[in-house]
Amino acid sequence: MNYNFDEIVNRRGTFSLKWDGGSFIKQSGLTERYDEETIPLFTADMDLPVPQPLIDALHKTVDHRIFGYTIFPQEYFEAIQHWFKKRHDWDIKREEIIYSPGTVYALNVAVKAFTNPGDGIIIQRPVYPPFTSAILTNKRELLNNALKVDDDGYYHIDFDDFETKAKDEKTKMFILCNPHNPTGRIYTVEELRKLADICERNGVIMVADEIHGDLIRRNKTFIPLAKAVEKADHIITFTAINKTFNVAGLHCTNVIISNPELRKTFTRVLGYHLPSPFTVAALIAVYNEGEEWLEQLKEYIDGTMEWVVNFLAERMPKVKVRIPEGTYVMWMDFSGYGITPEEVHERIYHRANVLLEDGKLFGEEGLHYQRICIPSPRPLIKEAFERIAREFEDVN
């Protein structure tokens, strides 16, 4: 079937964090202004309807009228195996799959399971803020292998710095984000193998957050880290249906660990978790029948990103932005305006009344940047950028 992603679905009054969570959002310090006219584009949460097979599966679950304790049926694991084999040519064994009620939760479990207070953990800023909080909240030492950006806004790994940090005896873990949030990089096989080789030689466990791995551009290929390397004994991979199919509220992350000892340790620290019947029904539906929807979604997101780049080139040429290789976020550099990050924030968040994410939340490397999540109906995205552009017309 054909999906109409231009349709604007009113999410107000549905307990939506981004549309009904104004009080929480203001208390968090993200913005001082939030009202009925705010356009919130700050969180990785689509404003687009989900696949019809998913809706049908959830209706069937509701129609049963009983929502008791739920097991993981064989179909659950078969759906995961089928999806990753078909989409990424990655063979996953049944026993390697561990359910977690969330990716950030799983990340904190990994930190607690495989490191001790004072141990060093490498991340690559600018990066998803919960990476930082998982390290600091658990009293580990943050080791920043900052990504290097060229004049075209393309990010590269500083391998010399990475190897120096990996060789430090206190370094026990590296958290990889691939596709990278917020820069949109998809790392090449050569880059992944080089990172993995350095980590293996130095006894560093790799945690690969790959939850955006299905959200890639039409001409790009994503290869899971565990698929790219010959030995995956030191690799822990996070996968999820949450981003791909817009079901963050169903809390479904799957952790893939091939090493039996690492798997045993992770499972012990994770504890015992049963899924919701809606979560089980959703995963089976989307991994078995959601591919047609996903391909249409990718086409739509790619078209929106092309529109954004063209709009900025015409109306706000001082903003540097490029179409990311993966994810549905765009990373916009406002440094060309020569004004402070605080003034950029004032013009976007207060005057335009558009809610994005300040780049400083991703590390000091993002100080002059803004992250926008663009999987919303294109008319809404156009309105947001029109508002923003008007507020920068007087900046020379």
Summarised one tens digit per residue, pLDDT across range 170-189 is 999 999 999 999 999 999 99
> What's the mean pLDDT in 349-361?
98
pLDDT in tens, 304-325: 999 999 999 999 999 999 999 9
Residue 379 has pLDDT above 80, yes or no: yes
> What's the mean pLDDT in 263-273?
97
State the architecture of 17-51+292-391 in CATH terms: Alpha-Beta Complex (3.90)
> What's the mean pLDDT in 332-347?
98
> What's the mean pLDDT in 112-122?
98
Residue 68 has pLDDT above 90, yes or no: yes
pLDDT at position 252 is 97
pLDDT at position 385 is 98
Omega prior to 126 cis, within 30 of 0: yes
Cα 263 off chain centre by: 23
pLDDT at position 186 is 98
Q: Please, what sign has the CA dihedral across residues 369, 361, 123, 235? A: negative
> What's the mean pLDDT in 65-69?
96
Considering only the top CATH level, what class is 69-289? Answer: alpha beta
Give strand ranges (E) for 168-215.
Answer: 171-177, 205-209
Other beta carbons less than 10 A from residue 339's beta carbon: 15
Q: Are 213 and 239 in contact (CB under 8 A)?
A: yes
* Sheet arrangement for strand 205-209: 97-100, 253-257, 235-240, 205-209, 171-177, 120-123, 141-144
pLDDT at position 258 is 98
> Boundaries of CATH 3.90.1150.10 in the chain?
17-51+292-391
> What's the mean pLDDT in 297-306?
98
pLDDT at position 59 is 98
pLDDT bucket at 101, cuts 50 / 70 / 90: very high
> What's the mean pLDDT in 186-210?
98
pLDDT at position 256 is 98
At residue 12, what is the residue type? Answer: R
Rounded percentage of the chain residues whose pLDDT exceeds 90: 99
Rounded percentage of the chain residues whose pLDDT exceeds 70: 100
Residue 396 has pLDDT above 90, yes or no: no
pTM of whole model > 0.75? yes
Q: Are 376 and 49 in contact (CB under 8 A)?
A: no
> Boundaries of CATH 3.40.640.10 in the chain?
69-289
